[in-house]
Chains A and B, each alone.
Chain A
Amino acid sequence: MLQAEALQLLCLTASSGVPLFSRGSSKQLPFSIIGSLNGVHMFGAGHGAQLSSCETEHGSRVVWRVFQESLMLIAVSGGGGSAISELQLRRLLENVWNCMVMVLGQDELANIRNVERLKREVRSCYHLIDMLLERINDGQGMMGYLTQCADCVPLSNSGRVQETLDSFTQAADSEFGCLVVHGRVAHATEKWWSRLAPQEVVVLLALVYSLSGTSSCDYPVFLPQGSPTVAIRLLCFQLLPGVQVCVLCGPKPSLYQAGKELLSRFWSPLLETLRGCLEQTDRSILPPSVNLRWDVQALLLINRESRRAITVCPRVRGGASANATPLLSSARRLELLTHFYTFAVTRYFTSEDVSPASPASEPAPEDFSQGFTHVPVQCYLVTDECKCYGLQSPQHQLYLLTDLSVPTFALRSVATQTLSAITAATGF
């Protein structure tokens, strides 16, 4: 249906099947195919069956999902070398829906009064949707779109930054403040973590990232779970190129006031500290106090309680022996990490999907894992490019990619050491 590595997203009204939009890099699918995709889903629904996905021999996939009984999103991917997994497509649909709610509000989408008008309104979501489509395989080291955890960057010596963020947020009449470095959360207020759903943080970060070219902004946003029908304001300020501070607030203060009165008062004293943070993250996501083993190729660490994640993909090897094999390209390593995460989550580990809004339509875990009478806590995989090890504790999940040179029997201790080294140094 589609060329290899192509990806299309379709949106139709659920009841009448009127196409609202279609986005994606490749040529738009013919109307007859769109109609059939809708038809086959409708046929199933008429017989009490819910069609959620299908797959061809060559790895092409179609994933359907109806939101709020009002709109149907369909993702269609071509097969090819780096086929997109079903989990990725499923997350894509969820993120796209959340972005649409964030921009337009749930009322607009759930109660369609005028399809032509909605077609026009929905254009305002294209920027974010296109970004989500582009990033499905090139998250530039960000995996939040897949893990539904906020991508973070732990900073060293950060007490003062946190204090400043707290008082700046308070001064802006808000309890929700967040400091973002290159699209990742460096600091956030306590309420930001405790009151926002992880899916909301993921789409908010996507929005903030899409605004990284502007100096400041005042965007009305609906929170898909916390405030789907009443818009609140997202104020966002670019302190340095690559460093943004944002707050969610009510009618006050105006963007002008906040920019003029609060910004330099709170943040100017920290200019050098922020420059330091930026330099640190340019070098590595992890603070310099963490020494990774040289044979670690990449890792993803998830804090399951706070729903935050760190993705590390070292640029150079520290202290490698002379005959060590060269690092794979970082794009490839991230791809492998994505595959391994998907592999582990769909087969062994409990998926972190705990979103209250996600309805029962979320497919049941694969039969494979249902056969277990226990929850696996560790798993590994050896490929001809790297070795992978995953482990989970009640608090953390670690996905580790290492060189082939690491003996398979040693993987477990490498993983546990890495986990404790990072958590001890960063308190993550």
Chain B
Amino acid sequence: MSVLPGSIIVSHWHRFPDSKEFFSRILHKKRRRKFGLLEAPMMPPHMNVDTIRYKVFISGKTGVGKSALAARLAGLDFPRMHYETTGIETTVTFWPVKLKDSERVLFFRFEFWDCGESAMRRFDHMLPSCKEQVDAMLFLFSFTDRGSFEDLSNQISRITESSDRVVKLVVGTKFDLFMHTDVTESDVTRFKEVWGLPVFRVGGDVSAGLGEVAPLLNALAEDLWHQDCIAASSVSIATAALSQTDTEIIV
């Protein structure tokens, strides 16, 4: 499912001068702007920029840094200490993207969902709620915790079903703590070959720059857009198939 980076959208667009006008809408005093749920980036009325909404579920074992990743992608401060998330939390972030062919600019509105593992174990409604209408999943492991890496395959097959139409990406966290790394480069390469999923690496301080989060957010946007395009082109076939089944049931 995953597409070649940069084949549909302009990669590293945040470095180009023409992106400034758009990125300035998600920044405030050199930091990422915080948006309430009733808000969205304001563009001048003559520029018609569409916003498309996606729900992204962040999955991974306790302590790999699910909440920290959500905060990092949204450019928020995260607590110095690790605290368990005892329910479902969502974090909304906007990300402007330029399509390569049409040069059209879109605002992606990602809603990152994360849920603490023990809450998920104790309360049955958590996982179904996170999976409801989900568009993409990020599977997390920590470079400092081999167990979390080995659990990946298990996790992917447990949470997703083959029929699910979702974008899947794998993210390795705490990559900066290379002194304590427990997962080698060849482990990651082998995993990529077996699963055919891209693996991203994050870690270290966020200097509120866009560069650190851009590769992951762009890849997510690209894959989601690609998935939607495929879905749209197959709609006609699907409806035809559907109407056929309907008739069969009635008969």
Taking CB atoms, residues of chain A closer than 8 Å to B81 are 130
Q: How many angstroms from the CA of A10 to the CA of B84 in the assembled complex?
A: 20
Q: Which segment of B14-22, B116-124, B158-166, B185-193 sits at the interface?
A: B116-124
Query: Does B153 sit at the interface, judged by CB under 8 A?
Result: no
Contacts of A202-256 to chain B: CB distance below 8 A: 211, 213-220, 231, 234, 237-241, 243, 251, 254-256
Taking CB atoms, residues of chain A closer than 8 Å to B125 are 251, 254
Query: Does A268 sit at the interface, judged by CB under 8 A?
Result: yes
**Is there an interface contact between B129 and A268, defined as CB atoms closer than 8 Å?**
no
Contact of B38 among A103, A124, A213, A239 (CB under 8 A): A239
Q: How many angstroms from the CA of A406 to the CA of B122 in the assembled complex?
A: 59
Query: Does B39 sit at the interface, judged by CB under 8 A?
Result: yes
Query: Does A67 sit at the interface, judged by CB under 8 A?
Result: no
Nearest-neighbour CB distance to chain B for A378, whole angstroms, equals 44
Nearest-neighbour CB distance to chain A for B121, whole angstroms, equals 11
Contacts of B27-77 to chain A: CB distance below 8 A: 34-39, 55, 71, 76-77
Taking CB atoms, residues of chain A closer than 8 Å to B122 are 220
**Is there an interface contact between B90 and A214, defined as CB atoms closer than 8 Å?**
yes
**Is there an interface contact between B83 and A219, defined as CB atoms closer than 8 Å?**
no
Q: How many angstroms from the CA of A243 to the CA of B39 in the assembled complex?
A: 12
Query: Does B111 sit at the interface, judged by CB under 8 A?
Result: yes
Query: Does A374 sit at the interface, judged by CB under 8 A?
Result: no
Q: How many angstroms from the CA of A126 to the CA of B122 in the assembled complex?
A: 18
Query: Does A160 sit at the interface, judged by CB under 8 A?
Result: no
Q: How many angstroms from the CA of A231 to the CA of B89 in the assembled complex?
A: 17
Nearest-neighbour CB distance to chain B for A10, whole angstroms, equals 19
State which size class the interface on A falls in.
35 or more
Taking CB atoms, residues of chain B closer than 8 Å to A231 are 123
What 0/1 readout, one digit per residue, does chain B (159-198) give for beta carbons within 8 Å of chain A? 0000000000000000000000000000000000000000
Q: How many angstroms from the CA of A413 to the CA of B9 in the assembled complex?
A: 70
Nearest-neighbour CB distance to chain B for A373, whole angstroms, equals 50
How many interface residues does B have (CB within 8 Å)? 32
**Is there an interface contact between A123 and B84, defined as CB atoms closer than 8 Å?**
yes
**Is there an interface contact between B88 and A217, defined as CB atoms closer than 8 Å?**
yes
Nearest-neighbour CB distance to chain A for B133, whole angstroms, equals 6
Taking CB atoms, residues of chain A closer than 8 Å to B118 are 120-121, 124
With both beta carbons as reference points, the residue of chain B lying nearest to A238 in the complex is identified as B36
What 0/1 readout, one digit per residue, does chain A (184-216) give for beta carbons within 8 Å of chain B? 000000000000000000000000000101111
Nearest-neighbour CB distance to chain B for A405, whole angstroms, equals 40
**Is there an interface contact between B37 and A256, defined as CB atoms closer than 8 Å?**
no
**Is there an interface contact between A215 and B129, defined as CB atoms closer than 8 Å?**
no
Q: Which segment of A55-63, A259-267, A344-352 sits at the interface?
A: A259-267
Taking CB atoms, residues of chain A closer than 8 Å to B7 are none
**Is there an interface contact between A263 and B89, defined as CB atoms closer than 8 Å?**
no
Contacts of A111-130 to chain B: CB distance below 8 A: 120-121, 123-124, 126-127, 130
Q: How many angstroms from the CA of A271 to the CA of B39 in the assembled complex?
A: 9
User: If the complex has contacts A126-B83, A127-B83, A217-B88, are A255 and B71 also in contact, measured as CB distance less than 8 A?
Assistant: no
**Is there an interface contact between B38 and A268, defined as CB atoms closer than 8 Å?**
yes
Most buried by B among A218, A231, A241: A218
Q: How many angstroms from the CA of A237 to the CA of B86 in the assembled complex?
A: 16
With both beta carbons as reference points, the residue of chain B lying nearest to A216 in the complex is identified as B90
Q: How many angstroms from the CA of A15 to the CA of B87 in the assembled complex?
A: 31
User: If the complex has contacts A213-B77, A215-B91, A215-B92, are A237 and B84 also in contact, measured as CB distance less than 8 A?
Assistant: no
Taking CB atoms, residues of chain A closer than 8 Å to B79 are 127
Nearest-neighbour CB distance to chain A for B249, whole angstroms, equals 28
Query: Does B132 sit at the interface, judged by CB under 8 A?
Result: yes
**Is there an interface contact between B132 and A218, defined as CB atoms closer than 8 Å?**
no
**Is there an interface contact between B129 and A254, defined as CB atoms closer than 8 Å?**
yes
Q: How many angstroms from the CA of A187 to the CA of B5 in the assembled complex?
A: 48
Contact of B88 among A213, A219, A240 (CB under 8 A): A219
Contacts of B207-223 to chain A: CB distance below 8 A: none
With both beta carbons as reference points, the residue of chain B lying nearest to A219 in the complex is identified as B87
With both beta carbons as reference points, the residue of chain A lying nearest to B116 in the complex is identified as A124
**Is there an interface contact between B111 and A124, defined as CB atoms closer than 8 Å?**
no
Q: How many angstroms from the CA of A130 to the CA of B37 in the assembled complex?
A: 28
**Is there an interface contact between A213 and B86, defined as CB atoms closer than 8 Å?**
no
User: If the complex has contacts A124-B116, A254-B129, are A219 and B86 also in contact, measured as CB distance less than 8 A?
Assistant: yes
**Is there an interface contact between A217 and B38, defined as CB atoms closer than 8 Å?**
no
**Is there an interface contact between A256 and B36, defined as CB atoms closer than 8 Å?**
no
Taking CB atoms, residues of chain A closer than 8 Å to B55 are 256
With both beta carbons as reference points, the residue of chain A lying nearest to B34 in the complex is identified as A241
Q: How many angstroms from the CA of A215 to the CA of B133 in the assembled complex?
A: 18
**Is there an interface contact between B132 and A213, defined as CB atoms closer than 8 Å?**
no
Taking CB atoms, residues of chain A closer than 8 Å to B92 are 215
Q: How many angstroms from the CA of A211 to the CA of B36 in the assembled complex?
A: 13
Taking CB atoms, residues of chain A closer than 8 Å to B84 are 123-124, 126-127
Nearest-neighbour CB distance to chain A for B136, whole angstroms, equals 14
Q: How many angstroms from the CA of A263 to the CA of B36 in the assembled complex?
A: 11
With both beta carbons as reference points, the residue of chain B lying nearest to A120 in the complex is identified as B118
Taking CB atoms, residues of chain A closer than 8 Å to B133 are 256
**Is there an interface contact between A238 and B87, defined as CB atoms closer than 8 Å?**
no
User: If the complex has contacts A124-B86, A213-B71, A215-B91, are A256 and B129 also in contact, measured as CB distance less than 8 A?
Assistant: yes
Q: Report A's interface with B, CB cutoff 8 A.
A: 103, 120-121, 123-124, 126-127, 130, 211, 213-220, 231, 234, 237-241, 243, 251, 254-256, 259, 263-264, 267-268, 271, 274
Subset of 24 A-B contacts with CB under 8 Å: A103-B86, A124-B116, A126-B84, A127-B84, A213-B71, A214-B90, A215-B91, A215-B111, A216-B89, A216-B90, A218-B87, A218-B129, A219-B87, A220-B122, A239-B36, A241-B36, A243-B36, A255-B88, A255-B90, A256-B55, A256-B133, A259-B90, A263-B38, A268-B38
Q: Report B's interface with A, CB cutoff 8 A.
A: 34-39, 55, 71, 76-77, 79, 81, 83-84, 86-92, 111, 116, 118-119, 122-123, 125-126, 129, 132-133
- Can you add 10 more A-B contacts, CB < 8 Å, to A220-B119, A264-B38? A124-B118, A127-B83, A216-B89, A217-B87, A218-B87, A219-B87, A240-B39, A254-B125, A254-B132, A268-B38
The 8 A-B residue pairs with the shortest CB-CB distance, nearest first, are A219-B87, A240-B36, A127-B83, A215-B92, A218-B88, A214-B89, A241-B34, A124-B84
